[in-house]
Structure 1
């Protein structure tokens, strides 16, 4: 479960996630810095929840910059890494740059990703690099993988988001180019219309109108993606990356129940595996 889907105080969101049967949570930096009692209170709430932190998000627009912009982004990255460590996250999500100032030079982009990975390495943190479907130069998963492979750092891997693959209509065969050992995170969501053809429409849908897997019109495509990753040997975490303005207006328990149905759809209907439920029981397909 991802906190970005839920409204309300951090403690209430964490409790609702746990009550719905999830044992992991994906945190955003604003969860920590926006806590009314301060950062220390937010960290204490996360640790008291008993939830494992899947990852920490999101570092934006890092690669391909120069001069003062690059120095500024390095400082931001350092602070994000320290916050990730403080909440117990071992993964930082970074997404492809959207800035017009970013260079198209892949050597420079890879150099910057290598630097980011080196900044994270002493803290025991891995970096998952994700292609945004409205990225300036990197907007598809295989392009992100090319940069990750070029940077060649053991703690730098790929973040895969089903939404961006659907939005760009990327052929799943492109995933065959990827080393499954270097996929660090898979984020899943769906949406309710057939196509999002322009970068601006992709951005608006991504930030306001996603739904949980199994709720949208692309369920078959999401299932195909998950099965392909599973066949490749991916055994890492799945996180529901669901930005939805309507869900922000619903009670926490109702939204988490929708997420729970999505988890059962994924585990039982797609992966055909037993999944833990509240109370320690196992439900099998």
Structure 2
């Protein structure tokens, strides 16, 4: 059984050997995949909190707050005016324009995720697995584009994300469990992009059998570093935490890979090395 502290120590040693390349790879991945859609949720939450915590009180026939009085008739008139404005908006062309822009943005982000984020994520894993043995070039990030298996890897990664989303609809816990069950799929694809979707899912499931909880604890062990990174406005994350985490995850896959080969539920023709 793998030991968390040993994986982290080996990961730390590995990325420090090729420090600047490891930092650059993580930074490129962060630029491509991080922060999409961030801020919108917090703005909605702030709006809701502002409304719910406004200093309004209710007595028999009026509301009062901040020395201003609002009678029921006034509120009814305001509500009526608001409904009229909403009705005019939905009836106008601006609503259709808004929907069209929203759909266009969604499609563009979806295409970016398929054609750029997924392949670069797999390339990142290929880089961090490779530097365990020798120096790797930044070309590792785009090796999927050169492999001739771009379509297969995109489809597999898309199905991984889709299944995780569908399981998360059954409340949060099933989605988290499946996320850990599918965790090794990007590593398997980074080693053999030609492998079938069904086989990649099957191998990842076998690898993570009995390892999901320990991997969850491994992730939690980086929580302190993540908090420190927040206090440094992400600078610590860029120059230390992110490559540290990626190198440790590569060590975890390396252990599970060797265990899979030793136990015979995967062959060397499927996990062909880096």
Q: Indicate the structure with greater strand content.
A: 1
Query: Larger % of helix: which?
Result: 2
Instruction: State if a TM-score over 0.5 links the two structures.
Output: no
From the CA coordinates, give the structure whose radius of gyration is larger. 2
The TM-score normalised by the length of structure 1 is 0.26
